[in-house]
């Protein structure tokens, strides 16, 4: 018999039970449910709402259930409906009528909201740690490639010279923002809804603050209606994870290109690549491709969650049962992607000679050539035109700015001297960009130090 069946004269249909049950996925919150119930039972006993001896019996029973679940001795079935009813039913079977007192001054609505927040807080900390791990990997690879010159791109066209270190640190700072977003999300999930009841709290003299403190929440929710109907923290987490996956997807796209024969900037370890069933020469960057593909999966969870919540009146509605699968799937996806992605980056082989060869082509030092003339006194727009004509000449004659003679330079402008060749060398182009945020070695070292020193907890 269902715990809520008192008002009903006949059993629910089997199809109703199948659609209504959430135990298949929400049972992963067993630990959070038991932690919340232990805190709630202790508070009930301390407040004199139930006998302290009953509270102790309940707590002991809950701890026994937790031990049996973690030992693989206890599982739940569809008839249990959800993890909350499953644990309460098992508790009552074990300790008798005292188990029926656990739900005093509590609704499944605030119980579910509590368990979900406890679960999200724990997962946020795990994901944040994984993101920090990837940041460290990017910093390590950057430190090893401070002098690895490569072309920087705009519109996927070679634009200006930079270094692999500078390029990777751009992603490290993206991840730093991801860490701050996760930290912000944690703070907004860090309020206890327990005591909100079904929607209008309870007439029992409970101590909400005591329960919040026992569960290490920084505060309680200020409005009981909002306490049970709020899923902003879940939506915010999905948004944060979507942005994180977007960052991984962008780097994945570059890794995929860099692995191609057209680029050959890096080669992935055999541990993080796959082959073809019919083409023996293939080495495919499947990990990067999968991360790129799974980004859409996380986006889908965010869109699904927003759609579930978009028109729900206050307070709790059964639609909100759809929140957990979306969040669980996104969390699982991100946690699967981050460690293997970090290992892929950490073990890839960088090919500096190919990067520099690409940087030597495409006239990516043209801006520096124009800046040379500006420093000699020519207005930038005039210098831009002069160098543009030189580039056209090079293209027509299959030359580069480095292979033009000084006479050819002087035919374009008398301001050119022999020092132009040093000014347009790739090493100079990079080294002179030492403003904060630039690709010069000292600037990138400062960027690495900033990322490594940054803490949010």
The per-residue DSSP string of 218-260 comes to: SEE-S-HHHHHH--HHHHHHHHHHHHHHHHHHHHHHHHHHHHS
Q: Catalytic pick from 107, 155, 196, 201?
A: 155
Q: For residue 294, which of 245, 241, 235 has the smallest C-alpha distance? A: 245
What H or E segment, with its residue span, contains residue 312?
none
Left (φ > 0), alpha (ψ -120 to 50) or beta: where does 104 sit? beta
Q: Is 297 exposed, middle or buried (0-12, 13-18, 19+ CB in 10 A)?
A: middle
Which three-class secondary structure state does DSSP give residue 203? coil
Q: Catalytic pick from 37, 276, 411, 413?
A: 276
- Whether 155 is catalytic: yes
Q: For residue 105, which of 194, 214, 42 has the smallest C-alpha distance? A: 194
- Whether 276 is catalytic: yes
The pairing of beta strand 191-192 with beta strand 219-220: parallel
Pair of tokens at residue 92:
């009552």
Angle between helices 232-259 and 164-189 (to 10 degrees): 170
Q: How far is CA 414 from CA 42, 151, 366, 373, in A?
A: 88, 29, 18, 10
Q: For residue 272, which of 287, 289, 252, 291 has the smallest C-alpha distance? A: 287
Decide if 415 contacts 373 (C-beta within 8 A). yes
The one-character DSSP state at 161 is E
Decide if 140 contacts 168 (C-beta within 8 A). no
**Active site positions, annotated:** 155, 276
């Amino acid at each position: 018999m269902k715990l809520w069946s008192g008002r009903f004269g006949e059993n629910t249909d089997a199809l109703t039970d199948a659609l209504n049950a959430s135990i298949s996925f929400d049972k992963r919150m067993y630990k959070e449910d038991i932690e919340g119930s232990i805190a709630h039972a202790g508070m009930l006993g301390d407040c004199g709402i139930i006998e302290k001896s009953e509270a102790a019996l309940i707590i002991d029973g809950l701890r026994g259930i937790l031990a049996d679940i973690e030992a693989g001795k206890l599982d739940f079935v569809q008839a249990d409906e959800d993890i909350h009813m499953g644990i309460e039913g098992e508790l009552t079977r074990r300790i008798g009528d005292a188990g029926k007192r656990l739900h005093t001054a509590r609704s499944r609505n605030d119980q579910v909201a509590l368990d979900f927040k406890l679960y999200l807080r724990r997962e946020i900390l795990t994901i944040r740690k994984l993101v920090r791990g990837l940041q460290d990997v990017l910093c390590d690879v950057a430190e090893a490639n401070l002098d690895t010159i490569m072309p920087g791109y705009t519109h996927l066209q070679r634009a200006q010279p930079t270094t692999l270190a500078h390029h990777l640190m751009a992603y490290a700072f993206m991840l730093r923002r991801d860490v701050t977003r996760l930290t912000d999300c944690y703070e907004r999930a860090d309020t206890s809804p327990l005591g909100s009841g079904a929607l209008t709290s309870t007439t029992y003299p409970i101590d909400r603050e005591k329960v919040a403190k026992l569960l290490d929440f920084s505060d309680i929710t200020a409005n009981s209606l909002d306490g049970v109907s709020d899923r902003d923290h879940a939506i915010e987490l999905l948004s944060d994870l979507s942005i994180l996956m977007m960052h991984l997807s962008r780097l994945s796209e570059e890794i995929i290109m860099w692995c191609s024969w057209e680029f050959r900037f890096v080669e992935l370890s055999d541990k993080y690549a796959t082959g073809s069933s019919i083409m023996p020469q293939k080495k495919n960057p499947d990990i990067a491709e999968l991360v790129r593909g799974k980004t859409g999966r996380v986006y889908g969870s965010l869109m699904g969650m927003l759609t579930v919540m978009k028109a729900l009146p206050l307070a709790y509605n059964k639609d909100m049962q759809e929140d957990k699968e979306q969040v669980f799937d996104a969390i699982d996806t991100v946690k699967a992607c981050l460690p293997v992605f970090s290992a892929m980056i950490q073990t890839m082989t960088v090919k500096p000679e190919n990067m520099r060869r690409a940087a030597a082509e495409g006239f990516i030092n043209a801006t520096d050539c124009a800046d040379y003339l500006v420093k000699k006194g020519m207005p930038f727009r005039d210098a831009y035109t002069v160098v543009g004509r030189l580039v056209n000449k090079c293209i027509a004659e299959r030359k580069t700015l480095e292979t033009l003679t000084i006479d050819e330079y002087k035919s374009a402008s008398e301001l050119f001297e022999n020092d132009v060749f040093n000014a347009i060398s790739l090493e100079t182009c990079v080294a002179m960009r030492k403003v904060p945020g630039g690709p010069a070695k000292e600037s990138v070292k400062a960027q690495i130090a900033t990322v490594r020193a940054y803490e949010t907890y």
